[in-house]
Amino acid sequence: MSENMRLVLAILLGVGWCTWVAIIWWLKRLKQSKQDANATHIVAYASQTGQARLKAQAFFESLTDAALVPLNHLTLDKLQSASQVDFFVSTYGDGEPPDNGRSFLRLFSKISGNSLQSLKYSVTAFGDSHYPEFCAFGKQVFTELNKCGANALQPLICIDASQVQTQDKNFIADFIDVELLESTQLNPGSPFSGLYLLRLSAANLVWQAGDILEVIPSHPVADNELPSPRSYSIASADSRFVENNEIKLIVRLLTKDDGQFGLASGFLTQSCQIGDQIKVKVRANPACQLKSEQAPLLLIGAGSGLAGLIGHIEQRYYFDDAGPVWLIYGDRDPEFDCTMQAELEWWQQQGVLTRVDRVFSRAKLPCSKATPIYVHDVLIKHADEVCQFIDKGADVYVCGSLEGMGKSVDQALAKILGEDGKNDLLVSERYHRDLY
Ligand SMILES: Cc1cc2nc3c(=O)[nH]c(=O)nc-3n(C[C@H](O)[C@H](O)[C@H](O)COP(=O)(O)O)c2cc1C
């Protein structure tokens, strides 16, 4: 056989193989979507940072004929025709639903009397008892269903994140030891709390930009009473792109009124020495992963929120056809808080960041009155451009403090897009929020 014939045969075999794989994949998808459409047993989740979704997924995998859906996708028709729905929902904000469950409660205004009598349900609520509105959304879902005549299979289950049993051997087994390679203060001299960039060895970790690193804030000693893990946004592109086996975190050192440092931030930035081992685990956070690197991306954040944004900026560097990225980032004082300025400028030169609006809330500029000082001011000031950017299919990604920034950004987006426009963005999974 000639060399050319062999090449043609190899190409034909390759194309044939790819077509075969594509057909199998497509048939599987078709079967799954048919199953989903017909399933009368539904597992629904509303999860901001992935805990409730993980439990829902595990429960779903133990069933044979069921569908797994984010709560926002559970329509009135589906709810009324289902025989059983198992809800796994967390609580966010001040007793609010997570973003992918925000539209669910509105269904109840359309349900009359006992019209859910034939529905069986269970609710597993995820929350943290440090919050006054402990598991409030789960409780609300449970009560609303009950009011409509649906039959609870068991009492409401509340899972308290602050009571995670770190002394449990099975729980700890999921964590691995990584080494602290470097710790750099990003705002030296600042009168405000220190912001640190940490680099950790990550040879055995797999993650995507937007995921979370759970950290046990204690040195791995033979101690039964380890504190419960704390979550940090991973400040790195997908692990498949990271060349030097390291994972980055940006950590704000919290100082309490009595002068004591926060347990986790104090541990990571003050107690840990270079070379020390830290117990960590990656938690996938699909709500903050982006589906497309080609879609425009509007990144909004403040302070330590740069962590979640940096991962997505870095990610785009690896795609030649990446879409435009507009960063709106706020910090306090330009004298000390020009966090990662050199890196951001470099990404601008590389064409990754196509527009940067950097604002400072405590700038001592002579004309500071005329200068927008918070990120939500920037959104309002450039409302038309924000609208156009979003109309072109942009994903919106917000990272930072919920109280200090997240809520005002949410209000600004509602003002610019209208409440319905903002909700459409949310339901179409283009409005991602990593707020704490
Ligand atoms: C910004 C923020 C606000 C929260 N608000 C509440 C709350 O009001 N009530 C509550 O019980 N838990 C609250 N939590 C805790 C979460 O519900 C808890 O960590 C849960 O395990 C998260 O589950 P998820 O990963 O599925 O979203 C809050 C967590 C965050 C980060």
52 within ligand 1 shell (Cβ under 6 A): yes
Query: What is the distance in A from the centroid of ligand 1 to the CA of 211?
Result: 16
Residue 178 burial (CB count, 10 A): 22
Q: What is the pLDDT of residue 171?
A: 77
Q: What is the mean pLDDT of residues 392-415?
A: 96
Every domain of the chain and the residues it spans: 39-163, 169-283, 290-435
Complex ipTM tops 0.95: yes
Mean pLDDT of the chain: 90
Q: What is the pLDDT of residue 404?
A: 86
93 within ligand 1 shell (Cβ under 6 A): yes
Beta strand segments in 303-388, E? 325-331, 355-360
90 within ligand 1 shell (Cβ under 6 A): yes
Q: What is the mean pLDDT of residues 365-380?
A: 74
Tokens of residue 365, six digits: 């500029």
In the predicted structure, residue 35 carries a pLDDT above the cut 70: no
Give residue-wise pLDDT tens across range 46-84. 999 999 999 999 999 999 999 999 999 999 999 999 999
Q: What is the pLDDT of residue 364?
A: 67
pTM for this model (two decimals): 0.86
Q: What is the CA radius of gyration of the chain?
A: 24
Q: What is the pLDDT of residue 167?
A: 65
133 within ligand 1 shell (Cβ under 6 A): yes
Query: What is the distance in A from the centroid of ligand 1 to the CA of 312?
Result: 23
Bigger pLDDT: 371 vs 162: 162
Question: Largest alpha-carbon pair distance within the chain?
Answer: 83
Q: What would the CATH number be for the domain defined by 290-435?
A: 3.40.50.80
Q: Which residue in 118, 185, 131 sits closest to 160, CA to CA? A: 131
Model confidence at 368, pLDDT cuts 50, 70, 90, reads very low
Q: What is the mean pLDDT of residues 15-29?
A: 62
Domains 39-163 and 290-435 share a fold: yes
Q: What would the CATH number be for the domain defined by 169-283?
A: 2.40.30.10
Model confidence at 365, pLDDT cuts 50, 70, 90, reads low
127 within ligand 1 shell (Cβ under 6 A): yes
Tokens of residue 247, six digits: 């994972």
Residue 206 burial (CB count, 10 A): 11
Q: How far is CA 360 from CA 90, 320, 364, 376, in A?
A: 34, 32, 9, 12
Which of 59, 96, 131, 133 for a ligand 1 pocket mutation test, highest count of atoms within 8 Å of Cβ? 131
Alpha helices in 253-356 (DSSP H): 263-266, 306-316, 341-349
91 within ligand 1 shell (Cβ under 6 A): yes
Tokens of residue 184, six digits: 């750099």
234-261 burial: b if 16+ Cβ within 10 Å, else e: bbbbbbeebeeebbbbbbbbbeeeeeeb
In the predicted structure, residue 123 carries a pLDDT above the cut 70: yes
In the predicted structure, residue 370 carries a pLDDT above the cut 50: no
Give the CATH number of domain 39-163; options: 3.40.50.360, 1.10.10.10, 3.40.47.10, 3.30.1370.100. 3.40.50.360
Q: What is the pLDDT of residue 226?
A: 78
Q: What is the pLDDT of residue 37?
A: 64
